[in-house]
Each structure stands twice: as structure tokens, then as C-alpha cells.
Structure 1
């Protein structure tokens, strides 16, 4: 009984470490090749940047450009499926309309509306917030020089 319990715990630790390593080794891609050749990236861990749309119905989309978001060009967007364990408690409405970076694995779904899907999303970060911080630091540096 104890031996099987230790084996089970060991298995969970190994699986957790493996999944973290996969996330760390995910490559950053532009959405362009993912849209153009989705079969080439099917099942791969990816990092992408785009513009997030949080819909009231619960759909979460990431668009290639702000224009695609504005004009809801669904062929240039992916639907996002979050890893509920890692992103529990995050209010995604805060990210609506923001430029964000995400990590998940690409799924080449043939869906009528979307260019594909990113499943198991484990990381979301607003690039707009980072850009604001960088701009603030640049302004402070300019003030110091003058």
C-alpha cells in the first residue's frame, strides 16, 4: 500500500516537472505561420502575442492585429482554452482589448469561424502594461538628463 502510494506520488511529481519543462521550452511564434500552416504546429507548445477579446458568453479569443480585433476577422484569430488549475482566479475582462502574450499548445481545429485554437493556456500577460512601464521609465530617464 505504502509502496504504491509512493509510486503514485513519484509519478505526479515527474508529470508536473515534465509539463513545466515543456512550457519553458515553448517557442515564441508570430500568428502568421500558425494561420498559414496550422498542421505544421498542431500539438506544439507555443508562445504568441496578439489582441485579446473577452466575450461575455465566455469565449476568449486572440486576434493577430488590432484591426482584426476591431473588425472581428475570425480567420485571423484563435480561440483560447485556459488551464483552469494554473489560471484560476484571473479576471480576464481586465485584458479585453489589450495586447497580450500567452503560452499554450496549438490545436489545428477545423472550425468554421476561427483560424485554430490554443489549448491548455497556462500564461497570460498584458504587453500593454509592460509598454506603459517602459514608457514611464524612459520619461524618468529623460527628466534626469535634463
Structure 2
């Protein structure tokens, strides 16, 4: 089997696997990163979103070969308990989650948005999160959390 090289959460990574393997199965099964969740398996729910380059993608339908030579960021790469990312702090402060299943995908969509647009409008945030399914009803709090994080990240 061929070797695929990419940067994962800022670290050079090399995986020997079937290039057609879904990125999600490599992240969870081979690398032990469980932040991205398996939801629908067809790229529709957003629970498995990660950032490739500066775009949020569904990792369940992203083949491993397509990330060769690229930067991949998972929820684990955003922050940690000692130094949480502004999005993580804002989601906690706004109580913008309930069951938590969709949250990693939502945060990755939001992080990709903030990489591309430091001061998004509410409508832009809603649009960026639109493809992340959440059944808990915390969407308004999620939008507030993203806007709060954007303010913090843009502050001098």
C-alpha cells in the first residue's frame, strides 16, 4: 500500500493505507483522534467535519489521497484544556451545545469561516453552519458563540 503524507494539526504525518480510505476512518481508527464523529457516512450531517487547508470538509466522504501534502486540522488541533481556542471558550460561555454530537463539526465549520472572514455577519455565520445538522435546538447559541469568538479573535 502507498504512503500518504500530510500535516495533521501542525505535525508531519505519514500513513500507509488504501488511498481511497475515508479520511474519517484514518483519523479515528488509525490515529486515535475521535473529535470528528461518524454520523451519516455520506457527507450530509457535518458531524465529521475537519479543515483541509482553510476549508471545512466532511471527512467521511473525503478520500485519504485527497489530503496528500495538505494541512488537516481536527477539533484536537484547535485548542486544548490549558489553552482553548476562542471558539471553544465562546461555546462554553454561551452554553452552545447540548448532546455534543454535532459540536466538533460545527466548531470546524466555524473555524474555517473565521480563517476566511475575521468579522462575519450573523447571516454569514448561519450560512457557514447551515450544513451541520443539530437536533438539540442550540443553533442560536452557536451563532452567538461564533460571533463572540470572532470579536475576541479580531480584538487588538
TM-score band w.r.t. shorter chain? under 0.3
**What is the TM-score normalised by the length of structure 2?**
0.24
TM-score (norm 1): 0.25
